[in-house]
Amino acid sequence: MVDVALAFAPGRRFNPWPAVIFISLAVLALLFLAPTAGVLLSSIKTTRDIALGQLWTIPSELFWGNYAEVLANPAVHRYFLNTFIVTAPATVASIALGSLAGYVFAKLPFRGSNLLFLVIVSGMFFPPQVILIPLFRLFNAMDLIDTLYPIIIIHTAMGIPICTLLMRNFFATVPNALREAAILEGANEWQVLTRVALPLSLPALAVLATLQFTWIWNDFLWPLIFTQSDEKRTIMLGIVNLQGQYSVAWGVQGSLSLIASLPTLIVFLFFQRYFIKGMTMGAVKG
């Protein structure tokens, strides 16, 4: 914490700075909220009202028809289910593999393990486009195109580098003495990991859970490549698809966008307080 607020007030005179800073921050916050507020407003209005140029006004009465339309659409249920089927296992699997690898790199290094670490972590820098064609050919040859498996597999694989990096950095802050004490007590490596190291790493796990869940839930490119039928679409593809169907029904599009964002927003608001802490300790070298 850089404590300069005090320095702004050398004497006891009236100090305007905290108020000025607070007001600038509040105005910026309003700008950040504006687009979402617009979508929210549109979602509670009739198409007619929006077409009449009333998109940005506060409606005199709330109209829930758009939400009813979206929630009653069986396609939307399927999109949600598919997205969940992809997101849950891929988030858990990538964090599990990353924790195992991170633990080895932090606590059980061996000759050459630094090089392996570099090879794995560098994997996060490559653009998806550069592996897209072979992946499509591979899953096509395995007859897995238009199933959800390729999306789960690729999100697990592409999540390993960031999970390994963050967990390695976090485990490195767990004192070696703790591990040695546990081993003297008769614990094996697995017990040290699950009973000592992981419970101490909850902030890092929270950051990773947020990042991976958000990233996979919101992804568009991989499902676009690997799925073809409407049956297998995930929610973000579904939004784009339904934009054709509801092309002028702005309100329906708005409510769908908000409903689709709700899971990630909830996860995010729940975990965001860990975020800065986790970043200070792990992802970004402090």
Partner 1 sequence: MEYGRYLRGWAQQALPRLVLAPSFATIVLFVYGFIVFTAYLSFTNSRILPKFNLIGFENYEKLFGLRHWSTAIENLVIFGGLYIAICTAIGLTLAILLDQKIRAEGVLRPLYLYPMALSFIVTGTAWKWFLDPGIGLEQTLQSWGWASFEFDWIKNRQMAIYTIVIAAVWQTSGFVMAIFLAGLRGIDNEIIKAAQIDGASNLRLYARIIIPQLRPAFLSAFVVLAHMAIKSYDLVVALTGGGPGRATEMPATFMYSYTFTRNQMGIGAGSAVIMLMMIAAVIVPYLYAELREPRHGR
Residues 216-235 touching partner 1, rule: CB under 8 A, are 217-221, 225
- Residue with Cβ nearer partner 1 (202 or 248): 248
- What does the DSSP 8-state code read for residue 26? H
Structure tokens at 76: 């939307």
- Residue with Cβ nearer partner 1 (72 or 130): 130
CB of 64 to partner 1, least distance (A): 20
Closest CA to 95 of 193, 266, 197, 213: 213
Query: How many CA atoms within 13 Å lie on the side-chain side of 28?
Result: 6
* Residues 19-58, interacting with partner 1 (CB under 8 A): 21-22, 24-26, 28-29, 32-36, 38-39, 42, 50, 53, 55-56
- Quote the CA–CA distance of 121 and 211 in Å, as a whole number: 16
Among 169, 201, 227, 255, binds partner 1 (CB under 8 A): 169
* Residues 88-107, interacting with partner 1 (CB under 8 A): 97-98, 100-101, 103-104
Are 17 and 232 a contacting pair, CB within 8 Å? no
Among 150, 161, 203, 251, binds partner 1 (CB under 8 A): 161
Cα 162 to Cα 52, 215, 216, 235: the distances in Å are 48, 12, 13, 24
End-to-end distance of the chain based on CA atoms, in angstroms?
Answer: 13
Among 167, 208, 249, 267, binds partner 1 (CB under 8 A): 267
129 is an interface residue for partner 1 by CB under 8 A: yes
CB of 132 to partner 1, least distance (A): 7
Are 210 and 271 a contacting pair, CB within 8 Å? yes
Q: How many residues bind partner 1 (CB under 8 A)?
A: 98
115 is an interface residue for partner 1 by CB under 8 A: no
